[in-house]
Amino acid sequence: MKTIDELLAEGVAGKRVFVRADLNVPLDGTTITDDGRIRAVQPTVKALADAGARVVVASHLGRPKGAPDPAFSLAPAAARLGELLGADVRFATDTVGDSAKAVVADLADGQVAVIENLRFNAGETAKDDAERGAFADQLAALADLYVGDGFGAVHRKHASVFDLPARLPHAAGYLIAKEVSVLKKLTEEVKRPYTVVLGGAKVSDKLAVIDELLGKADRLLIGGGMAYTFLKAKGYEVGISLLQEDQVPKVTEYMERAEKNGVELVLPVDVLVATDFPDLKTKAPADFDTVDADKIPADQEGLDIGPKSRELFASKITDAETVFWNGPVGVAEHPDYAGGTTAIAQALLDSKGFTVVGGGDSAAAVRNLGFDESKFGHISTGGGASLEYLEGKTLPGLAALED
């Protein structure tokens, strides 16, 4: 995989460089609530601009239906990128239309532009190779070189991720190079004990990675909504907690395999329960109780791991040499149910080992809960991409950069 440093050494001054970034940031209207992904790509964009390239940054945001939708405009992300760079960033109001062509044509050496949300064009995500390829041809006309740096999208076979690198000389940006280096430490160069913490809502989203980790991790800690399917598999009452009943047989099989393989599978021993889901807008104080994991009332749901579980989980993290964490272990958006996720983050900080926060909601939680990002070994920008890499899958965006 060619690196951006190699590209820079060859000279990029005066050349149009297409940077496939991941600016898929959460928005409250037009206000960015977490700019982590923009900050993550800033070093690559700055290096290219400083070297005299004419930088064309592109990304998706949200899930528009292949047509323009103001709710998913990249305009706020372009403005924030400009603030981070300390420079004017031009913005094109379309992807490959008149605005994009004019903005790119008007770039001077060292200037940066952002084109509108790639998913406003149906060709970006098309299943049909020809349709996707046609859009990639239009994107290729905007640039001379390609730099892939949107790690959060490399598991997608999309035009700007998979097809476009085949049409232009290409290299990996700093972010992708760092992400791959980190993931190798979780798959090929693992220091033990190796603890993996998995949270989030649905166990079905994590089945493949659990299957893979049962042969690689030393400890597997399960929290979040997905934990209740495991507790159900143990024969416990889970009340109205989030449950995927159809996954109980698979989870039972995984628990048996964990025991057979000598993998310590750790579940919550107590949980915070309530009859009502909390109001995440007003964040009004919640009325909850703490009960043992096998004593959840039939009319209540688990919303966070309890204090005994927090201590248990922390003890399995702090003495590990390698820790990977993906997914909050409670409804961390509400202060009354953020205690478990806070405890996990603090345990990672207290660990002397190499710690990785696996993107998505867990990365956002770390920032929203006020933790110093620099204290963690690595905070990934791609939750889904990280998980698929750990599953051993070939990621289209990485494969496209390797040839």
Where in the sequence numbering do the catalytic residues fall?
37, 202, 360, 384
Is 292 annotated as belonging to a binding site? no
Is 374 annotated as belonging to a binding site? no
Is 23 annotated as belonging to a binding site? yes
Rg (CA), the chain: 22
How, if at all, do strands 289-292 and 270-274 pair?
antiparallel
Handedness of CA 162, 164, 169, 175 (dihedral sign): negative
Residue 318, C-beta contacts closer than 8 angstroms, at least 6 positions apart: 347, 350, 351, 352
Q: Is the peptide bond prior to 328 cis by the omega test (within 30 degrees of 0)?
A: no
Handedness of CA 379, 385, 390, 394 (dihedral sign): negative
**Closest by alpha carbon to 41, among 26, 63, 25?**
25
Is 22 annotated as belonging to a binding site? yes
At residue 327, φ and ψ (nearest 5 deg) are 105, 130
Is 24 annotated as belonging to a binding site? yes
The amino acid sitting at 240 is: I
38 and 23 Cβ atoms separated by less than 8 Å: yes
Residue 174: other Cβ atoms inside 10 A: 20
End-to-end CA distance of the chain: 7
Is 206 annotated as belonging to a binding site? yes
Is 62 annotated as belonging to a binding site? yes
Q: Whole-angstrom Cα distance, residue 319 to residue 356? A: 15
Is 170 annotated as belonging to a binding site? no
Is 367 annotated as belonging to a binding site? no
Is 37 annotated as belonging to a binding site? yes
239 and 302 Cβ atoms separated by less than 8 Å: yes
Is 390 annotated as belonging to a binding site? no
Is 257 annotated as belonging to a binding site? no
Is 119 annotated as belonging to a binding site? yes
Is 334 annotated as belonging to a binding site? no
Annotated binding site: 22-24, 37, 60-63, 119, 156, 206, 302, 333, 359-362
Annotated binding site for substrate: 22-24, 37, 60-63, 119, 156
Annotated binding site for ATP: 206, 302, 333, 359-362
